[in-house]
Amino acid sequence: PPFPRSSPPLPSRNLSPGFAQLLFPRGSMSGWAQWLFGRGTAAAAAPAAAGAEAPEAPGPLSSAPVEPMDLMCPISACLFRDPVMLVSGHTFERASIVEFWRRRPLANPLGTGERLRSAQMIVNYGYRSQVDAWLQRHPDYTPEGWSSRGGVHRCTQEELDRQTAEIESAARDLDDKAAAEAAAEEEEARRELAAAAPRVYLVGGTPDSLHAEYLGAYDREPELVNGRLAYAMAGDADKMLWFSSVNGYWHAGPRANLGGPRGWLAVYDRAPLPERVAAEWQVGSAHGGGWTAAPDV
């Protein structure tokens, strides 16, 4: 049988400029990225028109130094000031990763976003020294995103260890809260299911009586399907009523399709019980040619 579809919204992702170094290795991004990120002053020189006056050569101080992208935090896209390395092996600006973890506790900003086993942060002395050496070579330059060249406290390892313990404690508190909320929702769902009617009715009429054989009384099955109750037609257990978590539709169709996204009658409604469905039902054509509204069901 055909199955209805609901187009989910396209996911949106905010990608910090620093991530580009991972997406475009070996310098393949250098041209457009320098323009996009405002790094450097490279520009293509257009040939002078015939008879046009040649432009004046730029002065020696007209261009800012190009900041090394391998010394930039992937989150802030700014040069490191207080770089720390995580258990994943990635290095971030301490303030940036701490703020990120306030929104997504212990998640890895790079890769798949998997949860890290620990919030341990280690001072990355190598990156510190490289940034300091670069700044010494450019004594009159303040990197982009920095308010000044000095005045930022760099944590000791002892300070990082204390902050690690605080972050992990806060993450455990959030986990406990989420677990309690999930348990409460599960208990509420159990109460709703226990109070559900043992028999429901799919009544009315379909256009041209198409698949009208699926209209009638349905009795509750003992086992849940996709976390919802499923129902078998009274007197014909091959005809079923169920919810599909694949597409968010309630379906009426053959038992062989139980739990899946295919049925002959369908309604897009995530109501926990069929008696709470408020949306309009549809009926599938006999030859898989599409769906027709069934407002009388």
The pLDDT, as a whole number, for residue 289 is 66
Domains and CATH numbers, the chain: 65-190 (3.30.40.10), 199-293 (no CATH)
The pLDDT, as a whole number, for residue 187 is 85
Weakly modelled stretches of the chain, pLDDT under 70: 1-62, 286-289
The pLDDT, as a whole number, for residue 157 is 96
The pLDDT, as a whole number, for residue 4 is 53
The pLDDT, as a whole number, for residue 290 is 85
The pLDDT, as a whole number, for residue 228 is 87
pLDDT tens for residues 229-281? 999 999 999 999 999 988 999 999 999 999 999 999 999 998 888 988 999 99
The pLDDT, as a whole number, for residue 227 is 82
The pLDDT, as a whole number, for residue 287 is 66
Residue 241: Cβ within 10 Å count: 26
The residues, ordered by sequence, that sit 6+ positions from 251 with a Cβ below 8 Å of its Cβ are 241, 242, 243, 244, 257, 261, 262, 263, 264, 265, 266
The pLDDT, as a whole number, for residue 25 is 40
